[in-house]
Amino acid sequence: MVDSFYTPLDTARKLVSLSQKKEPKIIADFAAGFGSLLQAAKESFPNAQFFFNDNSEKCFSYLLSYFGWSGSKINFLDSQYVKVLLDSDELSSKCDIIFLNPPFSQRGGSTYDSFFGELVFSSSVAFAFIINSLNFLKEDGELIAILPASCLTSEKDSNARSFIHSYYSMSVDSALSHKTFDKCCVHTVCVRIVKKIFNYTIEEEQNASVYNTLPSLQLFRGKLSIHNSVKSTQSNGFPFIHTTNLKEKYLNPNLHYSSNVIKPNSTISGPCLLLPRVCKPSFNKISIYSQSEPIVISDCIISISSLEENLYSIEDVYEFINNNWSLFRTVYHGTCAQYTTLKHLQSFFHTYNIYASILNSYGFIADTHTFFPS
């Protein structure tokens, strides 16, 4: 495979524990390595049939001789080989569960092609494994995987991710320690993917485990650089808010006024949530602006507002981020100064089925990020 960071057995057991299946018949891992995910699965589902794939001769021979499972040794990033496996007798019945710890590492901005039916996608190597694996999943099956946290927000995965959000439910269970894998420092998350059910009964809809209880959100990045702000006490000035003001849960606008507002839409009004665009991620740096008076936020701040335009809904968003902080912090990327973007935030909320639109400088929706199959 592309890299060789194998899943520790305790992490494999954690991933297997996310399954909601009772008696699966067929369980597969298409990046099996030395088989820790399937070993953990066998502990929980001893009566299932197991299938593995790994294009390493060493791993393939080990799994075949030690466990006797059915398996293949193909390059799972080569669509031609994947289609041959899909049409073969090896997996004539599709899988109830697919466990995956796909390869993560890749050179620079390189992308990999994958397919689902007639659709073709270009994405990171990890998401390419996810998309190709979905071809082998039963209609009521589940795919449970370890993914780099960056896959939840990265631009290169946006099309593949939007496809999954359109036809599948992808829940993010937890973030793993960056020390999970030996000799590899990477932030990873556990995800569970199942096919969406579009014909909910009333009872099923009431019992559905979804994260769409929050209102629709709007995301906006400040436009005014701190270097262009001007202290003023003039009546036409507005309180100017920079990241240094984000210290408490509820923001009290300081006495630093700016009369250098280039456009009227450089201002925002509360209630809204304010968070730094560049920072060492900390929940204590997120503040609620509860007042209706306009303020100007610097270009280092992003605001999150609700279409319901009330304080209660913003407080709900604040608590949602707090309760999911270990995952939310992954919207910040970078090896030195960590930063986030409007699209990173949008992708995070979409993962939880929370609609979030991006506003441009004129207050119009700039990007709804929706996948439409051709």
Q: Please tell me the predicted confidence (pLDDT) of residue 6.
A: 78
Residue 110 belongs to a domain: yes
Residue 212 belongs to a domain: no
Q: What CATH number has the domain bearing residue 115? A: 3.40.50.150
Q: Are 142 and 193 in contact (CB under 8 A)?
A: yes
Q: Please tell me the predicted confidence (pLDDT) of residue 361.
A: 58
Cα 349–Cα 351–Cα 353 angle in degrees, nearest 5: 75
- Residues 169, 223, single domain; the answer is no
Residue 1 belongs to a domain: no
pTM of the predicted structure, to 2 decimals: 0.65
Q: Please tell me the predicted confidence (pLDDT) of residue 348.
A: 85
Q: Please tell me the predicted confidence (pLDDT) of residue 326.
A: 81
Q: Please tell me the predicted confidence (pLDDT) of residue 371.
A: 41
Residue 252 belongs to a domain: yes
- Residues 161, 261, single domain; the answer is no
Residue 372 belongs to a domain: no
Residues 72, 51: Cα–Cα separation, whole Å = 8
Domain boundary among 207, 242, 277: 207
Q: Please tell me the predicted confidence (pLDDT) of residue 226.
A: 76
* 176-195 tens-digit pLDDT: 666 666 666 567 888 999 98
- Residues 137, 239, single domain; the answer is no
Number of structural domains the chain divides into: 2
- Residues 187, 110, single domain; the answer is yes
- Residues 33, 174, single domain; the answer is yes
- Residues 32, 124, single domain; the answer is yes
* 244-300 tens-digit pLDDT: 889 899 997 765 666 556 555 678 899 999 999 999 889 999 999 999 888 888 899
Residues 161, 153: Cα–Cα separation, whole Å = 9
- Residues 255, 233, single domain; the answer is yes
Q: Are 53 and 30 in contact (CB under 8 A)?
A: yes
- Residues 90, 187, single domain; the answer is yes
Residues of the chain with confidence (pLDDT) below 70: 1-5, 105-109, 176-186, 197-213, 228-236, 254-265, 335-336, 361-374
- Residues 299, 182, single domain; the answer is no
- The parent domain of residue 103 ranges over 9-207
Q: What CATH number has the domain bearing residue 351? A: 3.90.220.20
- Residues 163, 246, single domain; the answer is no
- Residues 77, 194, single domain; the answer is yes
Q: Please tell me the predicted confidence (pLDDT) of residue 370.
A: 43
Q: Please tell me the predicted confidence (pLDDT) of residue 44.
A: 95
- Residues 276, 149, single domain; the answer is no
Strand partners, 97: 27, 142
